[in-house]
Amino acid sequence: MATHFESNCVWLISPATKCIHLHNENNQRKAIICNLFKPKSLIVDYKFYRLIWVEENTIKTSTLTGSDIKVLFQAESEIRGLALDYSDDSLYFSVDEKIRSLSNNITFHVKEGWNVTDMAFYGNLLAVAVKTTAARGLIVFIDKRTGRVLREHSKENVKGFGSLSIFNYNGWRSDNISSARSCPCQHICVPSFDSFECVCQDGYQTNPENGNKCSPNTFNDTSYLLIADDYKNAIYKISLDFKKYSPVLNLQPTFTRPVGLTYDLRNKRIFYYDLSYGYLRIYYENGTVTSIRQQFTLYMEYDIFSDLLITNEGRRLTLSSTDGRYKKVLYSRTTVRQLSIEYKSRKIYFVTYAEIYNINFDGTELKLLRKGNFGYPLALDEKEGRLYFNNFMDKSISSIKTDGSDYKFISEAFDSWMLFSIIVVDEYIYFTNWRVRGIGKALKSGGLNNTHELLRQDVFSMMNQVIVVNSSNNPGRLECPVGICEQLCVISNCLCSDGYQLYNETNCKLVPKPTLPSTPSLPSTTTKWQNDRRDQLSTAELVGIIVGIAIALILIIIAVVLFKKYSDKYLYQNLRFWQRRRMSKIEPTKFRFETQLSVSTHVSEDELLSTLSDSGVFTSSDFSNEVAQPVRRSSSRPSFERHLSYISQDMSEP
Q: What pLDDT, on a 0 to 100 scale, did the predictor assign at position 350?
A: 92
pLDDT class for 633, splitting at 50, 70, 90?
A: very low
Q: What pLDDT, on a 0 to 100 scale, did the predictor assign at position 167?
A: 37
**Could you read off the pLDDT of 94-124 as tens digits, one per residue?**
887 788 888 767 777 777 777 777 788 877 7
pTM above 0.85, yes or no: no
Whole-angstrom Cα distance, residue 374 to residue 397? 10
Q: What pLDDT, on a 0 to 100 scale, did the predictor assign at position 449?
A: 60
Whole-angstrom Cα distance, residue 277 to residue 256? 7
**Could you read off the pLDDT of 45-80 as tens digits, one per residue?**
878 888 989 888 899 999 888 888 999 888 888 888
Q: What is the mean pLDDT of the chain?
A: 74
Is the pLDDT at 457 greater than 70? The verdict is no
Per-residue pLDDT, averaged over 497-522, amounts to 73
Best-predicted range by mean pLDDT (14-18, 339-343, 375-379, 607-611)? 339-343
Q: What pLDDT, on a 0 to 100 scale, did the predictor assign at position 377?
A: 84
Share of the chain residues as helix, strand and coil, in percent rounded to the nearest 5: 15, 40, 45
Is the pLDDT at 282 greater than 90? The verdict is yes
Is the pLDDT at 537 greater than 80? The verdict is no
Is the pLDDT at 635 greater than 50? The verdict is no
DSSP letter at 621 equals: G
Whole-angstrom Cα distance, residue 171 to residue 191? 17
Best-predicted range by mean pLDDT (125-134, 419-428, 627-636)? 419-428
pLDDT class for 600, splitting at 50, 70, 90?
A: very low
Q: Are 598 and 579 in contact (CB under 8 A)?
A: yes
Lowest mean pLDDT among 222-226, 407-411, 456-460: 456-460
pLDDT class for 500, splitting at 50, 70, 90?
A: confident
For residue 116, CA distances in Å to 78, 93, 163, 642 come to: 11, 9, 17, 100
**Could you read off the pLDDT of 429-444 as tens digits, one per residue?**
888 777 666 777 888 8
Name the residue with higher pLDDT: 513 or 382.
382
**Could you read off the pLDDT of 261-275 as tens digits, one per residue?**
899 988 889 999 998
For residue 624, CA distances in Å to 612, 631, 635 come to: 15, 14, 15
Whole-angstrom Cα distance, residue 280 to residue 607? 100
539-583 vs 640-652: helix crossing angle, rounded to 10: 130
Lowest mean pLDDT among 4-18, 196-210, 341-355: 4-18
Domains and CATH numbers, the chain: 2-173 (2.120.10.30), 223-476 (2.120.10.30), 576-652 (no CATH)
Is the pLDDT at 180 greater than 80? The verdict is no
Per-residue pLDDT, averaged over 583-594, amounts to 51
640-652 vs 588-597: helix crossing angle, rounded to 10: 80
Q: What pLDDT, on a 0 to 100 scale, did the predictor assign at position 451?
A: 61
Per-residue pLDDT, averaged over 440-469, amounts to 67
CB burial class (10 A; 0-12, 13-18, 19+) of residue 151?
A: exposed
Q: What pLDDT, on a 0 to 100 scale, did the predictor assign at position 37?
A: 82
β-bridge mates for residue 409, sequence order:
398
Whole-angstrom Cα distance, residue 546 to residue 552? 10
Q: Are 570 and 596 in contact (CB under 8 A)?
A: no
Whole-angstrom Cα distance, residue 297 to residue 57? 46
DSSP letter at 165 equals: H
Whole-angstrom Cα distance, residue 181 to residue 108? 42
User: Could you tell me which of 238, 278, 559, 299 has the C-alpha nearest to residue 422?
Assistant: 299
Q: What pLDDT, on a 0 to 100 scale, did the predictor assign at position 273?
A: 92
pLDDT class for 367, splitting at 50, 70, 90?
A: very high
Please, what is the Cα angle at 466 between 461 and 467, to 5 degrees? 155
Report helix, strand or coil for 109: strand
SS3 track for 366-404: CEEEEECCEEEEEEEECCCCEEEEEECCCCEEEEEECCC
Q: What pLDDT, on a 0 to 100 scale, did the predictor assign at position 64?
A: 86
Report helix, strand or coil for 508: strand
Q: What pLDDT, on a 0 to 100 scale, did the predictor assign at position 133?
A: 66
Is the pLDDT at 315 greater than 80? The verdict is yes
Whole-angstrom Cα distance, residue 55 to residue 74? 9
Q: What pLDDT, on a 0 to 100 scale, did the predictor assign at position 515?
A: 65
Q: Which residues lie below 8 Å from residue 527, measured CB to CB, with a gap of 6+?
A: none
Best-predicted range by mean pLDDT (10-19, 82-91, 193-202, 320-329)? 320-329
Q: Which residues lie below 8 Å from residue 169, measured CB to CB, with a gap of 6+?
A: 5, 46, 86
Q: What pLDDT, on a 0 to 100 scale, did the predictor assign at position 581?
A: 64
Q: Which residues of 559-592 are buried (b: 16+ CB within 10 A; e: fewer)?
A: eeeeeeeeeeeeeeeeeeeebeebeeebeebbee
Is the pLDDT at 634 greater than 70? The verdict is no
Is the pLDDT at 176 greater than 60? The verdict is no
Lowest mean pLDDT among 29-43, 399-413, 448-462, 477-491: 448-462
**Could you read off the pLDDT of 386-430 as tens digits, one per residue?**
998 887 666 778 888 999 888 888 877 555 456 788 888 888 888
Dihedral through CA 147, CA 150, CA 151, CA 152, nearest 10? 10
CB burial class (10 A; 0-12, 13-18, 19+) of residue 551?
A: exposed
Measured in residues, the chain has a length of 654
Percentage of the chain exceeding pLDDT 90: 9
Q: What pLDDT, on a 0 to 100 scale, did the predictor assign at position 596?
A: 47
Q: Are 165 and 47 in contact (CB under 8 A)?
A: no
Q: Measured on CA atoms in the order 250, 255, 261, 265, is the torsion positive or negative?
A: negative
Percentage of the chain exceeding pLDDT 70: 67
Helix (H) or strand (E) holding 539: helix 539-583
Whole-angstrom Cα distance, residue 280 to residue 291? 6
User: Could you tell me which of 491, 471, 496 has the C-alpha nearest to residue 481?
Assistant: 491
Per-residue pLDDT, averaged over 129-143, amounts to 74
For residue 204, CA distances in Å to 214, 425, 461, 542 come to: 6, 26, 17, 83
Q: Would you tell me how many other CB atoms lie within 10 Å of the CB of residue 285? A: 10
